[in-house]
Amino acid sequence: MNAPSRPFNVLVLCTGNSARSILAEALFNRIGQGKFQAYSAGSHPTGFVQPIALELLESVGMPTEGLRSKNWDEFARPDTPHMDFIITVCDRAHGEVCPLWPGTPVSAHWGFPDPAAASGDEAHQRYAYNEVLHGLSNRIRQFASLPLEALDALAIKREMDRIGSEPIDTTERSA
């Protein structure tokens, strides 16, 4: 894939667009440092971002301004940025029929458990969010380290699938 004259656009999808995809959007924009412009959306957005997700991002020094739950149809219009990569982070969204995306994005599934569904006390819920944050961070770091401009779409697809099929590594690294 030739390097575009702009950052690579990444759309991270989930059903509710309230936790996992929001965390991934923020992480892609931080870790990518200009290599990626990330967005997130959901097939059935909740209309709000989980407060624990926002608190967690702020606690690791990531901006949360502009993060919002939105419908994936916002990114299927011809006047929106063409996506280079589409990544689903929940199994439900992965199994749904997606809109037709403008351009020819490379897609992959990087499934994560839903931290918003974690039961138990607040400490257990925060632990679930931390696990997802660190797992996403590690996968995004692997992806960001690839020489995307030197790889063709098929090679990128293979790498994205490989990253998504590896066990989730929740070892804490700086986000």
State residue 113's pLDDT score.
93
Q: Which residues 6+ apart lie within 8 Å of 97 measured at CB?
A: none
- Render each residue's pLDDT in the chain as its tens digit; 175 residues: 655 568 999 999 999 999 999 999 999 999 998 899 999 999 999 999 999 999 999 999 999 999 999 999 999 888 888 999 999 998 765 556 667 777 889 999 999 999 999 998 999 999 999 999 999 999 999 999 999 999 999 999 999 999 999 998 888 765 5
Of 122, 138, 137, 169, which Cα lies nearest the Cα of 62? 137
Distance separating alpha carbons of residues 66 and 26, to the nearest angstrom: 10
State residue 99's pLDDT score.
72
Of 113, 137, 130, which Cα lies nearest the Cα of 25? 137
Domain segments of the chain as ranges: 8-165
State residue 95's pLDDT score.
58
Question: What superfamily would CATH give domain 8-165?
Answer: Response regulator (3.40.50.2300)
- Distance from the Cα of residue 72 to its chain's centroid: 13
